[in-house]
Structure 1
Amino acid sequence: MKLNFTVGDLTIHRIIEQETTFLPALEMLPGLTPEVLAENRSWMQKAGALDDKDVLILCFQSYVVKTPHHTILIDSCIGNDKPRPQRPKWNMKTDDTYLRALAGAGFTPGDIDYVMCTHLHVDHVGWNTRLENGRWVPTFPKARYVFGKTEYDYWTEQNAKAPVPPFADSVLPVVEARQAEIVRDDHAIGDHARILPTPGHTPGHVAFTFGRGKDDAVFSGDLMHSPLQTRYPELSAKFDVDQPQAAATRRGFMERYCDTDTLCCTAHFPSPSAGRIRRAGNGFSCEAI
């Protein structure tokens, strides 16, 4: 299994917490029909993205990007000790899979300079914090955590209406520890890391582009969950707050990177999870490298 890539002057490491079945394809993608699923079943199974019961297989992972100047972690996955009763595989986990994978890539939590979150959903913020003596503290003690302002404001508002546990246990403790940077879309880290607004999944969802002077790599977050959405960009996920906007954003993203050398690093596609966007009929494909 390929866990690292080199592109331009970047080295990219995948830190996998889980790679597992998630939801039936027809439930996860409400616009998907049984007929279209049948047409695509063979290649989806071959890609490791669909099991024999038509359940989607997703990877839950972070990426660590080494630039010439910084070590940056993108999306901090699921986390341990967190009450997630709606997701049994995530609920009150106590395993060492994630931190072992981080160590296996050659990093300790203290090596991370920045944590960048594409959005603030439960499986993208979990390892922002860890439980220490009954308190949530930042997992990465020296890191600045970068949260988009639109996204942060949205979840602040939602949390005021009704408690949002991942926001309370995995975002607010970072703010209280004064390690958060709540930034606008023109924010950049050095000359290598930039924000690309990609709204739809959540109002403030962003992708991150990396490279000096050009996009050597892009980290797409939950712009898409399954390779089926590259072939059919109009298929939005049930979790997208604005499904029409998510579909338009996804197609625009594919057009932007289609037939370029930019490495697209997805959050949830099955291993190897990264590839280059190519045209395929009226849609696209993410050709694994």
Structure 2
Amino acid sequence: MTPAQPAHAATDTHLSWDLGEVTVRRVDEIALPPQTGPWLLPEATKEVIGEAPWLRPHFADAEVPYLASHTFAVEAGGLRILVDTGIGNGKERANDAWNGLNTDYLGRLTAAGFAPESVDLVIITHLHTDHVGWNTRLDGDCWLPTFPNARYLTSRTEWDYWAATDLDANRRQMFRDSVLPVHDNGQFDLADVPEGGLQVAPGIRLVPAAGHTPGQTAVELHGADRSALITGDSIHHPVQLSHPHLTSCVDIDPEQAVNSRRRLLDTLADTHDLLLGTHFPHPTAGLVRRDQGRYRLLPEPGTPTPAAAG
């Protein structure tokens, strides 16, 4: 079976959410192919999807969950902040869906008001290939930081874990082309993130969300009117609201990942705070509601804003 391409492909508009003095925009990279869901979340079977009919049509069809690669561009306290940087162009990757991409992500980011040189802070929720790719771009034969005036930030726990790990060839390649050039240019900072979280910019707070990786963080956005949480990979897909016990095939500590997910969902449930999914297809965001002993997402689409050059 080859499902039809879902309706969350990258477009010439971006979605935005106004939190009151904090604005967050979704900047598309690519829609991930249909086989991604069954690979990443092997327990998200058609029977499991069928138990959550609210997933259709936006987040799944009758058999597979849809996933996307995008980043979040945030304006807060006069700063331009990017949360995660996607897969990137021209990178040599083992995953065919990520290998040698050639997207117009930077054009869309610029059209959303975030020209690379204007970005002040890049937050990396964790050091996985599809979250660090646009850290760098190719200039001749060299990978250079895409955001030359930005401070790049990840948790110290995350950095220390990978620094002490015997990396396989694919991950060594990712560090060579997307992480070490930023570090070697003196732009990478490490944050000690305590259990209660760490404010890193006005209205921006990192909170621990370990399990998928040891030092993963989620990102809280606190506006004057409401708050939001950017998931990173603590929640890959809305099916994990209905079934928080579902783990990813690449979770390093699946039990801890489930505990982190339940804690985040319990904090958000039945509040006015938005959940913004790092891999959720359109409509991307919503309110978490308790639903017969589980959770569900009540979608809250952002405001579609046509991209404008300059």
Give TM-score scaled by structure 2 length: 0.85
Q: Which has the higher contact order (CA 8 A, sep 6+)?
A: 2
Establish whether residue 177 from structure 1 lines up as the match of residue 185 from structure 2: yes
Q: Give the counterpart of 1:99 among 101, 106, 112.
A: 106
Identity of matched residues, %: 36
- Distance verdict in 2 for CA 1:110–1:276, change over 3 Å: same
Q: Give the counterpart of 2:237 among 213, 226, 247.
A: 226
Establish whether residue 204 from structure 1 lines up as the match of residue 215 from structure 2: yes
1:1-289 map, 5 Å: 3-23=15-35, 25-32=37-44, 35-40=47-52, 42-47=53-58, 49-51=59-61, 54-84=63-93, 86-95=94-103, 97-159=104-166, 164-186=172-194, 187-211=198-222, 216-289=227-300
Moved more, 86-95 or 154-163: 154-163
User: How far has the Cα of 1:68 moved from its partner?
Assistant: 2.4
1:173 is paired with a residue whose SS is helix
1:271 aligned partner, one-letter code: H
Structure with more of its chain in helix, by fraction: 1
User: How far has the Cα of 1:136 moved from its partner?
Assistant: 1.0
User: How far has the Cα of 1:23 moved from its partner?
Assistant: 3.0
1:227 aligned partner, one-letter code: P
- Structure 1 CA distance, aligned partners of 2:235 and 2:288? 13
- Structure 1 CA distance, aligned partners of 2:188 and 2:54? 42
Matching residue of 2:10: none
User: How far has the Cα of 1:192 moved from its partner?
Assistant: 1.5
User: How far has the Cα of 1:157 moved from its partner?
Assistant: 1.9
Residues 197-220 of structure 1: per-residue CA shift (max 9 Å, x gap): 001111111001122699712111
1:138 aligned partner, one-letter code: P
The aligned length equals 284
- Structure 2 CA distance, aligned partners of 1:172 and 1:231? 38
How well do the aligned residues superpose, as a CA RMSD in angstroms? 2.1
- Structure 2 CA distance, aligned partners of 1:220 and 1:201? 11
Residues 65-118 of structure 1: per-residue CA shift (max 9 Å, x gap): 00122110000001011101x3222111233x2012112212210110000011
User: How far has the Cα of 1:37 moved from its partner?
Assistant: 3.4
- Structure 1 CA distance, aligned partners of 2:298 and 2:122? 27
User: How far has the Cα of 1:20 moved from its partner?
Assistant: 3.1
Contact 1:192 1:211 in 2 (8 A): yes
1:158 is paired with a residue whose SS is coil
- Structure 1 CA distance, aligned partners of 2:190 and 2:221? 19
User: How far has the Cα of 1:251 moved from its partner?
Assistant: 0.7
- Distance verdict in 2 for CA 1:76–1:2, change over 3 Å: closer
- Structure 1 CA distance, aligned partners of 2:223 and 2:239? 31
1:37 is paired with a residue whose SS is helix
User: How far has the Cα of 1:278 moved from its partner?
Assistant: 1.1
Matching residue of 2:303: none
